Structure 1
Amino acid sequence: MSYGIYIGRNLTETGHAWLAGYGDEPSSHWLEIVPAADHEEGATVTVGVGPESDMPGRRTEIPQAARTARHMRVSYSYYLGVPAPITNGGLNEHGVAVRDIWSTSRDALIAMTPADQTGPNYSDLARIVMERARTAREGVDLIAALIAEHGYSDYGGNSHIIADPDEAWVVIQFSGGKGLWVAERLGADDIRASRPGYVGVVPTQPDERFLYPAHFISTAVELGWFDPASGAPFDVNAIYGDGKGRWEGMAWVEAEMRRRAEAGPITFADVCWAIQTEVLTGDTAGYGQVVPLVHPADPALRVMWHAPVGPVTAPLVPVFLGQAGVPDEYAQHRYLTTGEAHRFLDRRKEVKDPETVSHVPQGIEVSTCAVAEFKRLMHLAFQDEGLRVEAWDHFRAMEAEIAADLPRVLRSAELLIAAGEPVLAARLLTRENAAWLGRGLDDCRALAASGHARLRQRGVLNRTRRPLAPAQRW
């Protein structure tokens, strides 16, 4: 399902906006930095879903951009049959950040969806925006153009938050094969949580705040779902969505963040809390991301704070767009990767059946899998309140220490870039990130070992089929 939250710049201590969130997927997750690339004229990219997807369709080719932007993202291997690798978004070199969030459509629209649907799926849209958009508004226009020209392959409806340092947009795509979408602009004084993506009442003509295709209102009229003569407002959620309005968790976290804004500017720790609190974050949260929406002196200095699992029991650590790569421990492992259960690190049967060979390099597979280690700590902490508090306090202190050191690291890299030494800057950023991520993983192992020993010694390891976890508002 996923979750995202946007905080406008007028409400923050730092004076810039923030975009944070996590993804809910029951598969492997890995961090990657994708370099910019030039593409030959006539190049294409494969998009959509196949017949094996829960809501089937046809994979098709659409034109590739002449150049795609450098970006960093979390990828994963499975959701409802959508072809891997899949992504919910990240941050590109132009400062455009994307969060993908489920947003179900009306049952009748889902039923109308053609079995041979074509066009980009939710992950394709997130990836293409990161590859091509220079502003958040440009990201909205890209989605609109892609849906109009190629269609939209869905699994019941979806949404994205697309943000840059100046503004953000909530963009919802609807089921039904009718090319329906809507976008709402968010600004400097806004706080918006999405889970699911939500847009309420819109005017009957697009304006500076709301965008949608020309047939958006008329389609509802034709289907008998809206009568302009009634004088009733056009409530998008009621007409095209689930009709439930803003979900409880959304309303709760927005109210809490608004309260904090009124008490004093929202801090970095407050933003992190919004995706760390056990009230909202648990085992389903596959990772965490927090993006400061700024324009640094060089794109290499763009930062995305990353946690390898739900950050209720993991630290958020800054990843730099300009670093050379990510540590092997945080790259793709076979752990939870769809299809790896029937593959081997053995090529003897490769000619007869290529799918018997693992897609994960052996050199990476022999490293510790950060996701597996942090998941272990999470489920130990969910069985022991004392360990959960200990891990929370430890990692929050670690984040505060890193946040205090971050400006000096960025300034050092900036000076190297200004001196004509971008390779040395990349080396510096790569080393700092690896040290922070490595420290977090070492501390995770220590906390998990201690916690497991205590639970085992007390004879209270939960061996039932009823997992223990904090109560959540979703």
Structure 2
Amino acid sequence: MSYGIYIGKNHTADGIAYLGGYGDEPSSHWLEVVERKQHSEGTTIKVGVTAQADLPGVITEIPQARETARHIRVNYSFYKGTPAPLTNGGLNEYGVAVRDIWSPSRPELVAMTPRDQTGPSYSDLSRIVLERAKSAVEGVKLMGDLIARYGHTTYGGNSNIIADSNEAWVIIQFAGGQGLWAAERLGDNSIRASRPGYIEEIPIEGQTSGDFLYSANLVDFAISQGWYCPTSGDKFNVNKIYGDAKGKWDGVSWIEGELASLSMRPRKITVEDIFWAIRTERLTGDTAGYGQVVPLGDAVHPELRMLWHTHVGPVVAPFTPVFMGVREVPPEFRMHRYLTDGEAERFLDGRCFDSKVSLVSQQVESTRSATYVFKRLLNLVFRDSEVFLPEVSAFLTAYERRLLEVSVDVSKTARILLHAGEPALAERYLTYVTNTELIKALDSAEQLACALDVRSRALHATCARDRLLGPEQIR
């Protein structure tokens, strides 16, 4: 159950909007900073899914942009016929952040999806927005244009939250092969959770509202299928007509209510509150592949844009700042063979097995896998969550409090270097701080895991525990 939240700037203590969330995938995850790139005319990219997908499709090629933006993203290696590397979103140098969250379409749409569907998948759309969009609304229109031009490859319905410093948009892409989509604007006073993504009532009288955009056929197709009658007097409820008709799921209602309550305090919603909202064990567990929180403030220097990153579900990992201006991330946080699809049959040594050479270099594989270390900690914590989870949560809160103070000083220092005309020195500084803090977080997780392992073995030396343990979650 992928998850995203957007909090408008009028609800936050620092007057900055935030986008946070995570993706749920059963494979390895790794952190990547992608450079801005120039592409020659005629360059294409492959999009879509293979015949191995639940809703099969055909891989096709579409034109690449002449220039793609620098961005930070988390990649992963597997989802049902979708070629790796995949992504659910991240942050680009223009301050556009993207989160991908599933959003089930009505069964009739899933059933009518062509078995040779073509066009960008959910991962393709997220990546392309990171590469090309300079504002949130531009990202929405870019998705709509790509779907109209090249089609859309679906796994049964999907959504995104696309945000910048001024606004955010929820966009739903529906199954069915009809190019159906709808988008709703979120503003300064919005608090929105997607789990799954949803849009309810929208105005359909000539698209006169600037708060909604949708495909040209959205209304007519619903009428043609008998799903909406324009003379009935009913509102055009997107979720009831094209979605699962459930509206807000229980988890969405709960977290939106909690955040609304927090926003009523004099200090409003703090960054620590947002970390909690992504971390809470009621919504976050083993399936969460990582965590992201993006401050959507204006930045004079793109290098100072940043996101807070956890390498598995933040329920056991500290949010650590990653700045746009870094040269690289530590090898521990790059792609390792652990949980990476296809790596079980590969070798690092290619002398006798040229067709089975690993995608991971020996240099990277000789380092610790951050995913493995944090996953081990998560399983130790969940085996005794009543005892261990409160302790680890208190540690993470204290740990992040220091990092929040550090990040302010780091931004100020790097800004001074950039103003002084020292971009190379600023890059070295941001890289050093980001990499140092990522490794410190990894060291802390490893030390915690060793300590909890000793305690767990002593507490349960004679107990056989084969069933899955962990805190109860809300769907």
TMscore range, shorter length: over 0.9
Residue equivalent to 1:239: 241
Partner of 1:376: 376
SS at match of 1:140: helix
Structure 1: segments with no counterpart, 5+ residues: none
Which of 308, 316, 319 in structure 2 is aligned with 1:316? Answer: 319
* Other-structure match for 1:262: 264
Retained in 1: the 8 A contact 2:200–2:247? yes
Residues 367-417 of structure 1: CA distance to partner in whole angstroms, max 9, x if unpaired? 001111111111111122332222111111111101012111111111111
Match of 1:342 in 2: 345
1:68 and 2:71 are equivalent in the alignment: no
Equivalent AA in structure 1 for residue 37 of structure 2: A
Q: Which residue of 2 aligns with 1:303?
A: 306
Q: Deviations over 1:330-365 (max 9, x none)?
A: 1100000000011111213444xx2x1110111001
Task: Please list, as runs of the form range in 1=range in 2, the aligned pairs for 1:180-329 lying within 5 A after superposition.
Answer: 180-205=180-205, 206=207, 207-264=209-266, 265-329=268-332
- Taking the aligned partners of 1:140 and 1:296, their CA distance within structure 2 comes to 22
Q: Does 1:333 align with 2:333?
A: no
Q: Give me the whole-angstrom Cα distance separating, in 2, the residues matched to 1:227 and 1:35.
A: 49
Rounded Cα–Cα distance in structure 2 between residues aligned with 1:235 and 1:296: 37
Tell me what 2:143 maps to.
143
Which residue of 2 is the match for residue 32 of structure 1?
32
* Aligned position for 1:120: 120
Distance 2:104 2:466 in 1: 30
Q: Give distance in 1, aligned partners of 2:210 and 2:26.
A: 38
What is the SS of the residue equivalent to 1:219?
helix
Counterpart position of 1:108: 108
Matched position secondary structure for 1:382: helix
In the TM superposition, what is the alpha-carbon distance from 1:297 to its structure 2 partner?
Answer: 2.2
Determine if contact 1:4/1:101 at 8 Å carries over to the other structure.
Answer: yes
Q: How far apart are residue 460 of structure 1 and its match?
A: 5.2
Equivalent runs, 1:156-195 vs 2, <5 Å: 156-195=156-195
RMSD of the alignment, in Å?
1.1
Superposition deviation, residue 279 in structure 1: 0.9
In 2, are the aligned partners of 1:383 and 1:462 still within 8 Å (CA)? no
For this pair of structures, how many residues does the alignment match? 471
2:153 is the counterpart of 1:153: yes
* Mapped partners of 2:46, 2:20: distance in 1: 29
Structure 1 counterpart of 2:122, one-letter code: Y
* 1:28–1:335 Cα contact (<8 Å) kept: yes
Instruction: Give the TM-score, by structure 2 length.
Output: 0.98
8 Å CA contact 2:281–2:471 kept in 1: the answer is yes
- 1:426 partnered with 2:427: yes
Task: Between 118-127 and 409-418, report the one with greater CA deviation.
Answer: 409-418
Q: More displaced, 303-312 or 419-428?
A: 419-428
The whole-number CA distance in structure 2 between the counterparts of 1:274 and 1:293 is 17
Kept after mapping to 2: 8 A contact 1:455/1:461: no
Task: Say if 2:347 and 2:353, in contact at 8 Å, map to a contact too.
Answer: no
Give me the whole-angstrom Cα distance separating, in 1, the residues matched to 2:305 and 2:3. Answer: 22
In the alignment, the residues of structure 1 paired with residue 464 and residue 161 of structure 2 have an alpha-carbon distance, to the nearest angstrom, of 40
**Could you tell me how far apart the structure 2 residues matched to 1:163 and 1:461 are?**
52
Classify the secondary structure of the residue corresponding to 1:88: strand
Maintained 8 Å contact 1:2/1:22: yes
> Which segment is superposed worse, 272-281 or 384-393?
384-393
* 2:39 partner letter: H
2:234 maps to amino acid: A
Q: 1:349 to 1:168 in 2, by over 3 A?
A: same
Residue aligning to 2:367: 367
| Counterpart contact for 1:383–1:461, Cα < 8 Å | no
SS in 1 for 2:472: coil
Query: CA-to-partner distance for each residue in 1:60-105, whole Å, 9 max, x for gaps?
Result: 1111101000000000000122111000000000000000000010
Q: Which moved more, 1:185-194 or 1:397-406?
A: 397-406
In structure 2, distance between residues paired with 1:328 and 1:445: 16
Q: Which deviations, in whole Å up to 9, do the C-alpha atoms of 1:127-174 show, x marking residues without a partner?
A: 000000000000000000000000000100100000000000000000
Number of the residue aligned with 1:400: 401
1:69-88 matches, within 5 Å, as 69-88=69-88
Structure 1 stretches of 4+ with a deviation exceeding 4 A read 460-463
Q: CA deviation at 1:459?
A: 2.3
Residues 118 and 153 of structure 1 are in contact (CA less than 8 Å); yes or no, is this contact kept in structure 2?
yes
In the alignment, what sits opposite 1:465? 466
Q: Which residue of 1 aligns with 2:58?
A: 58
User: Which stretch of the first structure deviates more once superposed, 451-460 or 142-151?
Assistant: 451-460
| Contact kept? 1:50, 1:58, Cα under 8 Å | yes
SS in 1 for 2:383: coil
Whole-angstrom CA distance in 1 between matches of 2:369 and 2:425? 28
1:445 aligns to what SS in structure 2? helix
Distance 2:111 2:6 in 1: 32
Distance 1:373 1:87 in 2: 22
Counterparts of 2:244 and 2:52, CA distance in 1: 26
Aligned residues: percent identity?
Answer: 54
Q: In the aligned structure 2, how far is the partner of 1:461 from the partner of 1:436?
A: 39
Mapped partners of 1:75, 1:331: distance in 2: 9
Residue 19 of structure 2 is matched in structure 1 by: 19
Q: Could you say if the C-alpha distance between residues 249 and 344 of structure 1 is closer, same or farther in structure 2, counting changes exceeding 3 Å?
A: same
Cα distance in 1, alignment partners of residues 291 and 358 from structure 2: 27
Equivalent-residue separation in structure 2 for 1:317 and 1:460 (angstroms):
35
State the secondary structure of the residue aligned to 2:231.
helix
